[in-house]
Amino acid sequence: MKSKHLKLKHLIMGVALAAFFLTSIGSVWSGYRMNVASIKENTLETNRVYAQKLATTASLYLEEAFQVLGYSANHLKSKMDDKNALNSETERLKMQDNMFNSVFITNAEGLVLSVTPPAEEVQGQVLAAVETEEALSKKEPFVSKPYEGSTGRLLIFISSPIFSETNEYLGMVAGTIYLKERNVFNALLGEHFYHDGSYVYVVDSDGRVIYHQDPSRVDDIAMSNKVVQAVVSGENGAQQVVNTRGIEMLAGYSAVPLTGWGVVAQRPLDVALEPSFDRVQDVIIKSIPLMLISIIIVLWAAARIANPLQRLATLTEESLETKNVEGLKSVRGWYFEVYYLKSALIRSLTFLQGQVSYFKDQSTTDPLTGVTNRRTMDAMLAEWLDNKLPHALILLDLDHFKSVNDTYGHAVGDKVLQFLAQNMQAVARDGDICCRYGGEEFVLLLPNTTAEEAGQVAERLRHNLAHTISPCGRKVTLSAGVAVYPQMADTAEKLIEAADGALYLAKQAGRNQVMVAEQENKLKNVLK
């Protein structure tokens, strides 16, 4: 007898397929969201550290500028009437390190006594700008706000007062930075521009842009930007923000206390998340064959489950007519079929949870230190070996790190590890890769680098660390072993083993030193 109702086999197939696809979509979406959150967090932290590093660089530049100008001011105090001496000093300052676009000297009334390069609009004129009047009235080291100078350029200047031996105010010596032309900021910050959409900009205490990769943005007021509001208030940090042009950014920021400036390093959100989209597409494409196999298994299992139940339905119909109760009792298997249905779903969920685990494992950065992790290091070494790219490996760890944890606690120990990672990134060159190998052991991978060059990098890091107070309140030291491919090893394992051997001998030889693997054999002979 035909029925208009759906057959149980079709219902089971429909439910099973629906559950499979919904669970798959949910798991992929959940994995994607987790990956997005991880990328955001890592990008924000990277930009925060980066902005802090650049703010420190800017502070050092300002301190150096004040020292240079202060030296000149002291040198000029007895030569304010010597035109040749003044011209010579401005030329020297202009040529020294290219710190300034121009240099000028004024008397106490603001009359320009000398300027380099020569400018008729300025030479012999009294500077009437509010900023120069403020510098003259304060009679102290001064950094101006952006303003349009007599030559029509947008500029800021850094000045130092000139006092006589009797402490009489004689004027000032100042260096200018042309904000819309190539200037010292390009040298300090321009090289940090990324071609993936990331960029750095600097604002003054009023939120006015004084440096930007795009010169047309210089002099823009960005005070409506929450990041700018935070950094000009003296805060350091990172956050997701919509910039003044309506673009979502992942921004890190750090203040320059000396002037009230703020440095912002940011990357567009869509650019940062682009790898997530590619990764999801890659996972889906690679999963299609397995999904097809899983669907076939589900359909087959549904048919197998339906057959006993259809027999049960037939026996039930016959029992109504023949009162064959014993026939119904003979059907054993209801829970057996339910068990198989549940197993099919569990197998499907196991597969999908495997996909979630895949997304979790995509993180390539060590969350504590911000450098790449062991998985990334292994992948990079494998790629370089496949391409037969010559490279050096520096294996290093902190000396007596256990005593730091035992004495100051693990929280301080973590800060010391972060301190080491920051110093590694500071000495790393373009193309070098900083990795956390495990615990207090770290690795620097240096492509196309000789043993001598790698030893110099390691020695520079060792020296910086040994001469800097760490977060635990005292100096910490490191020992390092250097090995190069292909001269010292033909596999990644042997390369690490060679560097580890050199590190061991560096420890044995007294710690706080760098040992190159080819030096290892010589030292072994000495030890014998």
Strands (E), 257-390: 261-268
Q: 75: which 2 tokens? A: 């040198």
Q: Is the dihedral of CA 230, 232, 233, 235 positive or negative?
A: positive
Rounded to 5°, the CA angle 213-214-219 comes to 105
Q: At what angle do helices 8-76 and 269-322 cross, to 10 degrees?
A: 170
Residue 300 makes CB contacts below 8 A (sequence gap 6+) with none
The DSSP output letter for 333 is -
Q: Is the dihedral of CA 448, 451, 455, 458 positive or negative?
A: positive
- Name the maximum alpha-carbon separation found in the chain: 130
Q: Which residue has the tokens 């991978």?
A: 445
Three-state secondary structure call for residue 218: coil
User: Which residue, among 160, 132, 138, has the nearest Cα to 62 in the 3D structure?
Assistant: 160
* Catalytic sites, residue numbers: 440
- Identify any residues that bridge with 395 across adjacent strands, giving them in sequence order: 443, 481
Q: 93 exposed, middle or buried (CB, 10 Å; 0-12, 13-18, 19+)?
A: buried
3-state secondary structure 154-198: EEEEEEEEEECCCCCEEEEEEEEEECCCCCHHHHHHHHHCCCCCC
Q: Is the dihedral of CA 16, 17, 20, 22 positive or negative?
A: negative
